[in-house]
Structure 1
Amino acid sequence: MTDEDVEVAVEERRLWLLGQLNAAATRLNVVPGSSEVVNTYDMRSAGVVARDQDRDVWLRVVTEDPDYQPACRWDGNVEANAISGVPKPEVVRWDDWTSTTDYRAGTRLRGEVMTLANGETISADGVLYTDPHLPDQWWSDLRDGLTALAAHPAPHDDPVDAIGYTIRNTETQFGVTLDRAVFVDVVFVTSHADLHWGNLTGPELTILDWESWRRAPAGYDAATLYCHSFAQPQIADRIRETFADVLDTKSGNVSLLAASVRYLAIVGEGGDFDAFVGQLRELGENVLKQL
């Protein structure tokens, strides 16, 4: 496929999503505003500010994609409404339907109307490249929010097999075989599981994108955010300091290892983490010494 073919395919997908976003507006009785439509990098969803009677809301449409399962749950955003004490959007109402267009006919779609997040997304990419100069209150709110999230009853199932995934990728990336007995005393808590700078707003904190929330080792959210901060060492240090009480535990070390191998696994695909191989390997090696 040539670059021109890719551009044509992306544009076709964008226009189809735009049509589905408008369909969602009709089904959910909101009026899209004049702001720019935001597409995710993978063109799996689209969103825009809309008007719901007397307030602004966020209107989103997402298309089902088996490649994102089981990590990305269809009902993740809606089910996250049950989580309290965390600054996040709430899904006000939603609707599912099946595409009847020639393009992707039969594809399941969901439209969601959500409360509008405070602040602006901190980074267009998940990785942080410039210091956002976040106030102390933001860090305090993040700490409190993740503490409240961890206190929410953790799901019993583990569809991604977090420990198995970490064992397999540790062997692949470091040539070290870990026995499951190493993880017997790891504490699992409710986690966002995809915490990066593209899912955080500032200077007032909102945590976005709840499709992937699930149980994970305590400290996993702080560990993933830490890995997305290597380009700003002072921010990475702030994360280690803010969450030292959990990251310096056995569960926290497992979380750091899990995050390390997660992102090492995608090195070489042309993404942001290609530039951070050294930091990821050093992180993983240091944790393995302690385990």
Structure 2
Amino acid sequence: MYSPPPDPADQQRMRRAYARSARLLDVSVTGPEVWGWHGRTLSSRVEHPNRGGCWLRLISAPHARATGKVWEGNRKAAALFDGRVRKPLLYDTVESTGDGYTYQAELHQYVDEPTCSLSPVLRTRLDLPVSWWDSLRADLEYVSRTATDRVAVRQEWVDRSVPRFLGVPGPRITDWATAHGDLHPANLTTSPYLLDWEGFGLAPVGYDAAMFLAYCLLVPEVAQRVRDTFPILGTAPGRVAQIIVVTELLQSASRGDHPEILPALQDLIVDLT
């Protein structure tokens, strides 16, 4: 869970759009508001007259930027993965405009169980059964085999960013697979459901496992369980995936996101390079 946007005008703009979207989808808001990263999304539990409890998520962007991978991600993920992996179903979407912005509201299945962490960075031990890890591995394997033209990681970004943040040449990605694209403890529930599919697409083989590992480094026993569950991390492609993920998180930390994992990322880079 993130904080509301710092500008009160943006908060009110999003709340107006959210109320408008709720009317368009014939739902009533029944839960507290939940803000996404940098206030870009606003969500809450809602009640639908036929479906009962649902989750309504609103994403906004200036008119000229209301397109592309993130904008269409959850809709395309629903077409490929709903009913095939453990993810919330997408029931409906609706778009609206106002205040120079375009808004997309997504009505999802409500998952009545906690996430593994309130923050992407895991800080406490996860006591999860073997079946949880088996389910996650099976779902990610299904995702990896699913064809898509979406791209989550680009070689051009790797070539530019790895030297900047790690001081070594960017590795060449030779093995590609479809990835969820944002696999961390706050996007996994205790079942596990996999949440927030807007960034899915082609990435280095092992990318999801590498991302999950990086966000679990502060809890060594969980990090080890990730390594045990995903042996790809011990291979050459897995090393490439980890280098790329660490670079992404170092870039995010340079913008103020999750600086607490910087020492653990630096230790991991020593091992990888």
Shared topology, TM-score over 0.5? Answer: yes
Cα 1:266–1:176 shift into 2, 3 Å: same
Taking a change above 3 Å as real, the CA distance of residues 70 and 270 of structure 1, as seen in their structure-2 partners, is same
**C-alpha displacement of 1:38:** 0.9
Task: Identify unmatched segments of 5+ residues in structure 1.
Answer: 1-5, 100-104
Q: Which runs of 4+ in 1 moved over 4 A?
A: 6-9, 65-72
Bigger shift: 21-30 or 112-121?
Answer: 112-121
- CA 1:71 to 1:134, structure 2 compared with 1: closer, same or farther past 3 Å? farther
Q: Deviations over 1:102-156 (max 9, x none)?
A: xxx120001111111252122121100111322222111111111111111132x
Q: Does 1:279 align with 2:268?
A: no
Structure 2 residue 169 is matched with structure 1 residue 177: yes
Q: What does the per-residue CA deviation read over 1:251-277, in whole Å, with 9 as the maximum and x for residues that have no partner?
A: 2111111011111223344432x2333
Cα shift readout 1:198-241 (whole Å, capped 9, x = no counterpart): 11111x11111111111001110110111101111100110011
Contiguous gaps of at least 5 residues in structure 2 = none
1:107 matched to 2:101 = yes
Q: What aligned pairs does 1:84-95 form with structure 2 within 5 A after superposition?
A: 84=81, 85-95=84-94
User: 1-side partners of 2:65 and 2:120: how far apart?
Assistant: 17
1:80–1:227 distance in 2 versus 1, CA, 3 Å: same
Q: State the alpha-carbon separation in 2 of the partners of residues 71 and 257 from structure 1.
A: 26
Is 1:197 the counterpart of 2:185? The answer is yes
Structure 2 residue 125 is the aligned partner of structure 1 residue 139: no
Whole-angstrom distance in 2 between the partners of 1:17 and 1:127: 27
Name the residue aligned to 2:224: 237
Give the aligned partner of residue 48 of structure 1.
44
On the 8 A contact 1:71/1:160 being kept in 2, the answer is no
**Counterpart-to-counterpart distance in 2, 1:169 and 1:68:** 24
1:67 is displaced (CA, Å) by 11
Distance 1:248 1:235 in 2: 16
- Seen in structure 2, the aligned counterparts of structure 1 residues 177 and 150 have a Cα distance that, compared at 3 Å, is same
Task: Say if 1:66 and 1:196 are closer, same or farther in 2 by CA, change over 3 A.
Answer: farther
- 1:80 partnered with 2:77: yes
Partner SS state of residue 113, structure 1: strand
CA distance in 2, matches of 1:79, 1:252: 27
Residue in 2 that maps onto 1:226: 213
Q: Larger radius of gyration, structure 1 or 2?
A: 1
How far apart are the structure 2 equivalents of 1:93 and 1:8?
A: 26
Q: Distance in 1 between matches of 2:163 and 2:207?
A: 20
Report how many aligned residue pairs link the two structures.
268
Query: Structure 1 residue 195: deviation in Å?
Result: 0.9
Question: Distance in 1 between the 2:127 and 2:79 partners?
Answer: 31
In 1: Cα distance, 2:103 partner to 2:59 partner: 6
Q: Distance in 2 between matches of 1:66 and 1:97?
A: 11
- Give secondary structure in 1 for the equivalent of 2:226: helix
Give how far 1:12 is off.
2.9
Say yes or no: does 1:62 pair with 2:59: yes
Q: Is the 8 A contact 1:70 1:159 kept in 2?
A: no
Say whether 1:207 aligns with 2:194.
yes
Please say if residues 4 and 11 of structure 2, whose CA atoms lie closer than 8 Å, have aligned partners that are also in contact: no
- Provide the alpha-carbon RMSD of the alignment: 2.5
In the aligned structure 1, how far is the partner of 2:73 from the partner of 2:15?
22
Which 10-residue stretch deviates more, 67-76 or 136-145? 67-76
CA distance in 2, matches of 1:23, 1:67: 21
- What is the alpha-carbon distance in structure 2 between the residues aligned to residue 268 and residue 177 of structure 1? 20
Matched-pair contact (CA < 8 Å) for 1:88–1:117: no
Q: Does 1:36 align with 2:35?
A: no
